[in-house]
C-alpha cells in the first residue's frame, strides 16, 4: 500500500480531528501518502480530495468537529454511487481507506469492500458509545464532561429555587451518557432505555427524596428512554401527581456533540489512528480499531455493526445505591 484515504462520516464527534491527525502522521512515519476525503462518502463520489502531509494537520488536535467535514450520502447506498466512488479512488491511486464514523459508516465500508475487495479499517467516532467492541468511542468522554459541567450549572439554579429538573441527554438508543454523566453529576434518578424504571417507581422515588429532606433534584433522562412519555409529557405527569414539585426541563441538545476534545479522547484518537494505518499496512482489512481493558484491539466490522454495546451492570448497581 502506497496511499491511504481517510474520511469522517455520519455524525461528527470531538476527537475526530485528533484521529485524522494521527492517521496522516502515521502515514508520513511509514513513508506512504495520505489523502483526505471531504464530506465522507459523498466526497468520495465527487472526488473531493486533498493531499495531506504532517503539516496539514497542525493545530487540530484540540478542535471539535472534523476539518474534513462529514455528510450522510444517500448516493453511496446505491451500487452506482459506490462505483463512482471506486473509480475516483483508483484514479487518485488510493489503495486503502480509514473510515471514522458510526455503524452506518462501517456498513457502507463493508459493502464497498465486498464489491471491490478494497481494504477498509474503521475508527469508532460517535458520542453515544453505542458500538460493540470498544469500551469507548471517540467523543464519548468529551460528551460526558460536557454533560456533567451542564448539570453542575443546572444544580446551582435548581437548589436556589427548590426545583426538580429533568435533564435530557443524548445517546440515541443507549443509556451510556445518561448513566455515566448521571452518576458523575450526582443525579437523584437516571432513566435509561436499558432499564424500565416505570412511572410509579419514579413518583415513589421523588416522594421519598422530598420526604428525606431534599429540596432540589436532578433527574437525568436518556433521549432513548422508553418510560412511555417524552420529557415534556413526563414533566406534566409528575407535576399533576406531585403538585409539591416545581418541575423544569432542560434538553441539552447538540452542545453535547461539540467542544474541544478531552485529553482522554485525544490520546484515544492518537492510538486508534496509529493502529488503523499499521493494520492496513499489515494487510488487515474489515476490522474496527477500539479499546478493551485499556489495550488497543481489533473487532471485525461485521461484529461491531451487529453486536450490542451492553450497559455496565456494575455501574447500574452503583447508581441504584448512591442515588437513594
Cα dihedral sign, 131-133-138-141:
positive
Instruction: Round to whole Å and give the CA distance between 21 and 27.
Output: 10
Is residue 281 within 8 A of residue 4, CB to CB? The reply is no
Q: What cell does 162 get? A: 427548590
Question: Which residues ranging from 88 to 127 are in contact with ligand ATP (CB under 6 A)?
Answer: 101-105, 107-108, 111, 126
User: Among residues 12, 128, 130, 265, which one is catalytic?
Assistant: 128
Residue 304 C-beta: closest distance to ligand ATP, Å: 11
Q: Which residue, 16 or 34, has its beta carbon nearer to ligand ATP?
A: 16
Residue 73 makes contact with ligand ATP by CB under 6 A? yes
Residue 15 makes contact with ligand ATP by CB under 6 A? no
Q: Which residue, 10 or 224, has its beta carbon nearer to ligand ATP?
A: 10
Residue 241 C-beta: closest distance to ligand ATP, Å: 36
Indicate which single residue of 3, 30, 63, 72 sits in contact with ligand ATP (rule: CB under 6 A).
Answer: 72
Instruction: Round to whole Å and give the CA distance between 95 and 48.
Output: 16
Q: What is the DSSP letter of 195?
A: S
Q: Which residue's CB comes closest to ligand ATP?
A: 104
Per-residue interface string for the shown chain with ligand ATP, residues 23-62, x marking contact by CB under 6 A: ------------------x---------------------
* C-alpha distances out from residue 140 to 7, 234, 293, 310, Å: 19, 27, 16, 15
128 given a catalytic annotation: yes
Indicate which single residue of 4, 6, 7, 10 sits in contact with ligand ATP (rule: CB under 6 A).
Answer: 10
Can you give the binding site for ligand ATP, defined by CB under 6 A? 9-11, 41, 72-73, 76-77, 101-105, 107-108, 111, 126
Catalytic residue numbers read: 128
Amino acid at each position: 500500500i502506497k496511499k491511504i484515504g481517510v474520511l469522517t462520516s455520519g455524525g461528527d464527534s470531538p476527537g475526530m480531528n485528533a484521529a485524522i491527525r494521527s492517521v496522516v502522521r502515521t502515514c508520513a512515519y511509514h513513508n506512504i501518502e495520505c489523502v483526505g476525503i471531504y464530506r465522507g462518502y459523498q466526497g468520495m463520489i465527487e472526488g473531493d480530495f486533498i493531499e495531506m502531509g504532517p503539516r496539514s494537520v497542525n493545530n487540530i488536535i484540540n478542535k471539535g468537529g472534523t476539518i474534513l467535514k462529514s455528510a450522510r450520502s444517500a448516493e453511496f447506498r446505491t451500487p452506482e454511487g459506490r462505483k463512482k466512488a471506486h473509480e475516483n479512488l483508483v484514479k487518485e491511486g488510493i489503495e486503502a481507506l480509514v473510515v471514522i464514523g458510526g455503524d452506518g459508516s462501517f456498513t457502507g465500508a463493508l459493502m464497498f469492500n465486498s464489491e471491490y475487495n478494497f481494504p477498509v479499517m474503521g475508527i469508532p467516532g460517535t458520542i453515544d458509545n453505542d458500538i460493540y467492541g470498544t469500551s469507548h468511542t471517540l467523543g464519548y468522554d468529551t460528551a460526558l464532561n460536557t454533560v456533567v459541567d451542564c448539570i453542575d450549572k443546572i444544580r446551582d439554579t435548581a437548589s436556589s429555587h427548590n426545583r426538580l429538573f429533568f435533564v435530557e441527554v443524548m445517546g440515541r438508543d443507549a443509556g451510556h451518557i445518561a448513566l455515566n454523566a448521571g452518576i458523575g453529576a450526582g443525579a437523584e434518578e437516571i432513566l435509561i432505555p436499558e432499564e424500565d424504571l416505570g412511572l410509579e417507581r419514579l413518583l415513589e422515588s421523588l416522594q421519598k427524596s422530598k420526604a428525606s429532606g431534599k429540596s432540589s433534584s436532578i433527574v437525568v433522562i436518556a433521549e432513548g428512554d422508553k418510560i412511555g412519555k417524552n420529557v415534556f409529557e413526563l414533566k406534566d405527569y409528575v407535576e399533576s401527581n406531585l403538585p409539591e414539585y416545581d418541575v423544569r426541563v432542560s434538553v441539552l441538545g447538540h452542545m453535547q456533540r461539540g467542544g474541544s476534545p478531552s485529553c482522554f479522547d485525544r490520546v484515544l484518537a492518537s492510538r486508534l489512528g496509529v493502529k488503523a494505518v499499521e493494520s492496513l499496512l499489515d494487510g488487515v482489512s474489515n476490522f474496527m480499531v477500539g479499546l478493551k481493558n485499556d489495550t488497543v484491539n481489533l473487532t471485525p466490522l461485521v461484529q461491531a455493526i451487529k453486536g450490542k454495546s451492553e450497559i455496565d451492570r456494575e455501574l447500574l448497581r452503583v447508581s441504584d445505591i448512591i442515588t437513594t
